[in-house]
Structure 1
């Protein structure tokens, strides 16, 4: 039976419409239980470095994921593990990464230390490739003590516009900032002699992140309990990386029709564009295991005054975005 010319035209039209629709990433964007994602761009590739979301004693490695377009992701397994970091035994958490002097520096927390006399804290891996393998840069933690009540976890490395690098970190409701030495082997004191300055805003729990837009410093963090449905992200703005940071409000939270526990995020900016994405973890509906977290991505927008518009978490994710075009 021949298809009529009208039907043929109809099917061609539908095919044309489908071809015009952008491919979407979907959420979650990577397979498996992953949390605390660090999203960044190296060259023409997007990268995500997450925590492997499992019981603490099983968190003995870190994976990475790369994509040319936010839709097609490649897994790079075990870019670092405890066999390469002799002082790390468990709870490898919340990677942060920077490229400097043709090396990639992967900051991570390990061992979930509960006081300054325990072995562990924040360490650094180094590699000449973003996908590793990474070896232990210092042979010991970069930071293994509590300062101002901040557990040494959830590190973020902030590269300021003046070229300086800062470590912003902290759990247990406290956040500190410290200036890193140029070779990342330690810290430099500020002009007043203080090494670790507390910049904790109202309702801060963990998961700090910072970026600059139009001359303003945006400081973001997670609130609530990581294992519960009300985990969320709030933010503040200031004129310097030291604040003071006055809480403005929540911009990422659960949607009971989509997912719960949306938090511990990072931000990706397209080079040369005022185009922003937020990468975060959340818990699928119906999941009760605290470690059943997945990594997702959605667009992040600003209003005319520079405030962040609350993010709508989606199942669709974001449209394909090729960095090479």
Structure 2
């Protein structure tokens, strides 16, 4: 979708429109990659030398905005491919719809994908018929599908934002998101809600923040191979980041990449809108907080993925440049730089 300007047709107005458009574009570091549909939460991968992007698909919603994210009422997924980092993305259409998933009721939020032995696995969250988020998997012979969903969600899965990281022959899933993502409701190991607001179940500000989850995947990539465990994010004194530390604590959007033998766990801080990162020595962590990769974007959410293309690293993210609406986003990308000491240069998405 492109902006529509309702202006009279005369030379001075046309010139003014061009200037406005140029000025608006100049605010942003990067341009939208896709404009004919609304896209968000891009998970980018390189399969067989080509870039594939698996985003969520934002749609118009009549549901009022709230802290549970009910207005993010997505129901299907597209996949996009790029021949090179400078190429125009190709839309391969819908690869999975909520009606194709027997257990899923609504809200198909941020997905991810992985490849193993020539098969492609698409991981997605959705609310089941009890309105509890679970994580499902669909399988295809091609990165563009068609994908066929398993009849049931992954056993023992909960919350949302799955991200699968390959380390050698092993694959690990990271996941979780607080507030609307329901992770805080699983603090006892079972789904328990003690309040009407999504943040009623959070720990006190001086207690350790709610941690994201990790589990190694089974050989067939369809289940967890172990009991899920927490991913600890520590400060540089070795203490867990506290729940009240909103600038640094985990909120959602886990992602892991590996650089120079170190594991980088990046995530969104949610209501403070940073993409932050921490570094560890193995996939399970603990990870020590380092700083911010991506400063807040235009729009309430910030969600990303990081991928190496040829010899350069890129961060894929979203904002609301096209619509100006929180729940109608567009995906973007920017080059990302590791410093010689292993830290990452902070990116400002606005010029």
Regarding TM over 0.5, the answer is yes
Structure 2 residue 96 is the aligned partner of structure 1 residue 80: yes
Q: Which residue of 1 aligns with 2:81?
A: 66
Which of these two proteins has the greater Rg computed from alpha carbons?
A: 1
Asked whether the 8 Å contact 2:39–2:329 carries over to 1, the reply is yes
Indicate conservation of the 8 Å contact 2:269/2:275, yes or no: yes
For residues 285 and 67 of structure 1, do their structure 2 counterparts lie closer, same or farther at Cα, with a shift above 3 Å needed?
closer
TM-score computed with the length of structure 1 as normaliser: 0.76
SS of the aligned residue for 1:141 comes to coil
TM-score, normalisation: structure 2: 0.70
Shift of 1:102: 1.3
SS, match of residue 183 in structure 1: coil
1-structure distance, mates of 2:274, 2:286 = 21
C-alpha distance 284-128 of structure 1, shift in aligned 2 (>3 A):
same
Alignment partner, residue 171 of structure 1: 177
Where in structure 2 are the equivalents of 1:164-203 lying within 5 Å?
164-172=170-178, 173-189=210-226, 195-201=227-233, 202=241, 203=249
- Residue 218 (structure 1) shift: 0.4
Report the alpha carbon displacement of residue 131 of structure 1 after superposing the two structures with TM.
1.1
Structure 1 residue 60: Cα displacement: 1.4
For 1:281, the equivalent position in structure 2 comes to 318
Cα contact 2:255–2:267 (8 A) shared by 1: yes
User: Residue 42 of structure 2 corresponds to which residue in structure 1?
Assistant: 37
Query: Is the Cα–Cα contact under 8 Å of residues 177 and 242 in structure 1 kept in the other structure?
Result: yes
Separation (CA, whole Å) in 2 of partners of 1:66 and 1:135: 20
Structure 1: tracts of 5 or more residues without a match: 1-24, 147-151, 190-194, 316-325
Output the CA distance in 1 between the equivalents of 2:347 and 2:155. 33
1:127 aligns to 2:140 (yes or no): yes
Task: Find runs of 4+ consecutive structure 1 residues off by over 4 angstroms.
Answer: 117-120, 143-146
Separation in structure 2 between the aligned mates of residue 245 and residue 185 of structure 1, nearest angstrom:
27
Unpaired runs of 5+ in structure 2? 1-28, 62-70, 179-209, 234-240, 242-248
Deviates more, 1:47-56 or 1:74-83: 47-56
Pair 1:303–1:295, CA change in 2 (3 A): same
Shift of 1:293: 1.4
Equivalent pair of 2:313/2:335 in contact (CA under 8 Å): yes
- Give how far 1:283 is off: 2.3
Partners of 2:304 and 2:276 lie apart in 1 by 10
TM-superposition CA deviations, 1:14-45 (whole Å, max 9, x none): xxxxxxxxxxx951111132111001111232
